[in-house]
A and B are shown apart, each in its own frame.
Chain A
Amino acid sequence: MLRIGCDIGGTFTDFLLYDAATGAFETLKVPTTPDDPSRAVAEGLARLGAGDPTLVGRIDTLIHGTTLVINAVIERKGAPTALLATAGFPDILQMRREIRYDIYDIRQTFPEPLVPRRWRREAPERVLADGTAETPLDEAAVAATVRALADEGVTSLGVCFLHSYANPAHEARAREVIRAAVPEMDVTISSEVLPEIREFERTATTAVNAYVRPVVKAYLAELEDRLAAMGVKAAITLMLSGGGICGLAAGRQAPVRLVESGPVGGVIAAAELGAQAGAGEVLGFDMGGTTAKLCLIAGGRLPMTREYEVDRVHRFKRGSGTPVAVPTVDLVEIGAGGGSIASVGAMGLISVGPHSAGAVPGPICYGGGGTEPTVTDADLVLGWLDPEAMKPNGVPLDREGAAAGLVREIGAPLGLDAVEAAAAVVAVVEEAMAGAARMHGVERGSDAGAATMVAYGGAGPLHADGVARRIGARHILVPLAAGVFSALGFLVSPVRYEAAKSRLTRLDRADGPESAAVDAVFAELTAEAEAAVKSAAGDTPITVELLADMAYHGQGHTLRVPLREGPFDPADAARRFAKGYADAYGYAYDDMVAQIVTLRVVATAETPAAPVAEPPAPDGGARRERMAYDPADKAFVPHSVVSIPSLAAGERVDGPALIEADGTTIRIGRGAFATMSDAGYVRITIEEMLL
């Protein structure tokens, strides 16, 4: 049984081929082909099958993630798109929440709306909050509008009417009218993409979907044709922003759900590793070249957000983008990676990131022309990286150059030598990541310090120890398959689909008819979610979870609460909400009425077994010693240096130590030790919380 994970990134398209019969992995990178991304997919498959002509035909599943959707938005390469709103409301998309994302920046700007005002049109119709149609849809007006838009070159139309989550009839009818008037017009209706209350978020999400859909449809058609021509018989599935995978039909319907499909793979793999290692709550910590991503996973359940944004004016400023409120894994991303540039700002304080030296020119020490000091330069000056171990440009890392850059940009203005400057840069960036982890914890109603960190990405294992100490976390897991960690996540991701619909229901009034209405919505959502899962998973058994986003009546932020199976029971829902609220915030109120805002159904097909690489026998490599910086001592002290292949299962390495792995280095600080597991990861335990 062959499974392939395929992640189309901006630069490379990554492949991971897994043979379930032998447990063997094979990985491959080919350059992405932006003009037609399916070409790189076909090319990669051809290369994987070069030695075995039968391979392509034997692939069972191809799981696919892509940055196509997000790039289409950022680069404004979507279709000429129009929006149709309830008459009187053409400007919801541009008015946003009318709030500023930075209180002091008087010159702040907002993302250019995906749909210009001249294509934001109105349809006479009105549905009220309770779903009553107060003004019927003016079908003739809709037909005339869509014909005019087609004449102006519009090929995709989003329809978002007020309260369509409560009654989608007008939107559905509008789609029929549009199709009759202009059959080739691509139509997205908001009640299918996001049947949830709050008109701005729904309109923005609908606009993104309409904007990318023609592009995604063309791409998927191309992909299917190419793979069919090659003899691929596999079911092609797509990685969703919410974790879970779906078939091509569901992907075509709501491509807005594919926006964040890349980074989610790593989170799924982190959750899986945490479960294997018996960890309770997991804090995924992915530090790469440009950003660090953090994700708290409790009880194996991926955290979800409906506040995800694309197209931010300031990439790391919340509120500066366009909301995409479909199910998305709640990842916190901050501008702190190995390539992040350090400098001294106007206030005489160090800032690290969000600007990054990127792959080109890269950190100073890579010798690729970089002149500004980065976190990686600081790591090298502190002796945490071995100059000989990495040769990104064919030569050893340049410690002198890195030190000189740090002195020039950081040391000189602050009166520090190279090592002090490097230690300061590392402390600042680790505190920034720790701060993001703490905030993420508070926002999730959880304590990041109580979680087990799973560290991956090129710089994650090096800085995990420092971040863990700053948030009070004692356990860190580092996977050995760190290089293919995201693609690994694709392979262990279940086929899963979430369907949701707003249905405001006060539990104290949820008597017979209202309960029946809730059951009806659940039945409708279950059918939708099951159909989406079946299209990708065939006859695999499906489990269905019923959930409700609930709040105390009048309270804002909702809490996602799992409900029990069977007919809706308001009393049981109230108990579950009170328990969930108490778990999150430490107390619950018995004098307040709870209310359901949105109903959700998650359908999941059985999870494939997680592949675990057999640990190879130790290669007999000896331990060495190297002087490296110890932040607790503020001095260079001897560190044990070992390589991963030299470690036997169960072997212990006491800090301070550096474990050299493929593409990364694991740092173990003083007061901590690492043990090699027999299941493909290193476990670090911090006994003394020295900083």
Chain B
Amino acid sequence: MSVIDPVTLQLRWSRLVNIADQMAATLVKTAFSLVVRDNHDYACGLYDSHGRMLVQSNQCTPGQIGSTPTVVREMLAEYPPETLEPGDILIANDPWIGAGHAPDVFLAQPIFQGGKLVGFGCNCAHHIDFGGRLAAVDARDVYEEGLIIPVSKLYRAGKPNDELIRLIRRNVRENEKVVGDLRAQIASLHVAAEGVVEMLRQFGLDGLDDLTDAICDRSEAALRAAIAQLPDGEAEHSVRHEARGPDGENLMLRLKLKIAGDEAILDFTGTAGQIERPINAVLNITRAYVVFPFLAALTPQTPMNDGCFRPLSLDVPEGSVLNSTFPAAGMYRSLLSYYTVELVFGALAKIAPERVMAPSGTYPLWIEKFAGQFDGGESFVSHYNAQGGQGAFHDRDGNSAVVFPGNVANSSIELFEADTPLVVEKKRFRIDSGGPGRFRGGCGQETMIRSRADAPVTTALSGGRFDTGPLGLGGGRQGAKGEIRTADAAGAEREPFPRPTRTSITRGERAVLRQPGGGGFGDPFARDPAAVLADVRDGLVSVEGAARDYGVAIAPGPEVDQAATAALRAC
């Protein structure tokens, strides 16, 4: 292996990142489904000839990008270098190879220079549909969740594999958009191949493999240095998930975090076993959502590549909900897997609380699916995304209504209504929803969606935090709980659903969503009364809430009643 000087490394590295960003821009520009183009639910990366990850696009979804190294390695295992040729495009969406559910479809293209395999471009897009039962929030196994494609060739030497494409077309809803998005992924891979070949030519290189070592070593060293700054020790944390196992008890996620020098050992022993509900996570997803919060808390400037995985050792029991085995259902695995962020932050908080945020109302992700017919008979399928509030930090309030840890944008109300016979009647911050603390959790929001269609509209209402709001940290209190209900045509709300639910609404009926607020940080009675007053003025905290949660008495004006506040805070 040749040693690459830092300046040369940097120039090559930044060129590779630039190519990955061009892949992403091409994918977004040419994609059809809203999920890719507006929700940014995709990932792009470059890999060396052994399938090791070099770089990722700046904009991507952590779970997908964290899965790509496994995807490319599995592809290489299935198709060794001598079976690959220029113009091949490989495809896979097997949950246990990829990102844990069928809609995340991975495509990769081997890149050749002078007949020699030098690396791969790989991307993943969340497709609007990939077959299976519509909105199967009650699926019991993976067979109900869509078409599974093991590693296959979608193109051979530039020629489409027509049988496979016909098979996909016949198995998925909205197949024009699905095929359109596959084409967008291919266009993005072409940009990768052209960019890499041009880079090798311009820099006079004959491969990428030496570069991988240098890039990964540097990222690894940066993460190790950050871990070494933490005090050695062990911390245990557990999160109670609202889903219940066969014994009727809440699922427990458990982590024992050990910091030893420049390494971290994360042991998930004691975590609940996989269940017959579609929220099981595969190891790829768990690994991605463990590395992600670690990087984010310790070295946010370190880009993700294979080197970032080396200082961390993960022990996730096989057959648990965090390392499920075939044929566990996992379509809605974000409902569970995002909690690994809370698990990691919760354990880290016991070692270095200033690095983390309190639990967020932003996980699980809230994505509601609607399907049905316009009165003219034309069918529609659409998603509606809107998220809760983030947890507070030790020194500032949490952000309200923002996506985390995934990174998918909300739905434009106007575009959603143009695509469906539905009307959004309300979308606003929920008062008193941010968890009280010296620093307040971000606010959740509430949404009401009414049907105007004659035919019943099927809806998969998905969200969480129905039993307990996101907890506070350091004396902070919990944010508001999540709620999903329907309301009748007169607006009267029915009992909330205890869990994500597939139901239908008829003309005039509403789906009602209340996304949770984030947890607070620190003693709420230590919050600056002026900050509480500002929240009251802005309608984010009620006068009653100010007194009850913060010990701040608000007099008409509004203004802070200093004497009454002192009295409230004294008790």
Contact = CB atoms under 8 A, between A and B. Distances in A.
A89 interface: yes
6 contacts: A98-B387, A99-B409, A103-B60, A129-B418, A200-B412, A555-B180
A109 B218 CA distance: 28
Contacts of B448: 88
A504 interface: yes
B180 A592 contact: yes
A424 interface: yes
Determine which residue in B31, B176, B537 has the highest number of CB atoms from chain A within 10 A of its CB, and name it: B176
B11 A555 contact: no
B428 A91 contact: yes
Contacts of A134: 423
A110 interface: yes
Interface in A645-691: 689, 691
Interface stretch (B85-93, B255-263, B393-401): B393-401
A369 interface: no
B202 interface: yes
A92 B25 CA distance: 26
Contacts of B400: 94-95
A98 B301 contact: no
A481 interface: no
Interface string B120-135: 0000000000000000
B410 A97 contact: yes
B540 A117 contact: yes
B403 interface: yes
Given A431-B11, A439-B22, A88 B427 contact: yes
B427 A589 contact: no
B241 interface: no
Interface string A408-435: 0000001010001000100110011001
B414 A198 contact: yes
A424 to B, nearest CB: 4
B402 A99 contact: yes
Interface in A403-461: 414, 416, 420, 424, 427-428, 431-432, 435, 438-439, 442-443, 445
Contacts of A170: none
A554 interface: yes
B428 A90 contact: yes
Contacts of A445: 29
B117 interface: no
Interface string B503-535: 000000000000000000000000000000000
B298 to A, nearest CB: 10
A163 interface: yes
B386 interface: yes
Interface stretch (B13-21, B243-251, B327-335): B13-21
Contacts of B425: 88
A98 B7 contact: no
Contacts of A691: 202-203
B408 A99 contact: yes
B410 A98 contact: yes
A197 B62 CA distance: 30
B18 A439 contact: yes
A427 B15 CA distance: 12
A512 interface: no
A472 B31 CA distance: 28
A500 to B, nearest CB: 16
A504 B414 CA distance: 12
Given A89-B427, A554-B32, A554-B33, A439 B25 contact: yes
B300 A348 contact: no
A556 B37 CA distance: 6
B29 A443 contact: yes
Interface string A577-591: 000000001100101
B155 to A, nearest CB: 14
A308 to B, nearest CB: 17
Contacts of B15: 431, 435
B25 A442 contact: yes
A128 B423 CA distance: 8
A458 B33 CA distance: 44
A691 B203 CA distance: 8
B314 interface: no
B22 A442 contact: yes
A106 B394 CA distance: 13
Contacts of B429: 91, 94-95, 117
B34 interface: yes
Interface string B200-215: 0011000000000000
A110 B426 contact: no
Given A104-B295, A104-B300, A106-B296, A350 B401 contact: no
Contacts of B412: 197-200
B320 to A, nearest CB: 26
Interface in A310-358: 345-350
A552 interface: yes
B38 A556 contact: yes
B6 A98 contact: no
A435 B11 CA distance: 11
Contacts of A592: 176, 180
B286 interface: no
Contacts of B239: none
A589 B184 CA distance: 12
B10 interface: yes
Nearest to A122: B428
Contacts of B386: 98
B538 A589 contact: no
Determine which residue in A100, A128, A414, A431 has the highest number of CB atoms from chain B within 10 A of its CB, and name it: A100
A424 B7 contact: yes
Nearest to A196: B414
A114 B102 CA distance: 42
Nearest to B174: A554
Contact of B176 (A200, A431, A554, A689): A554
Contacts of B203: 691
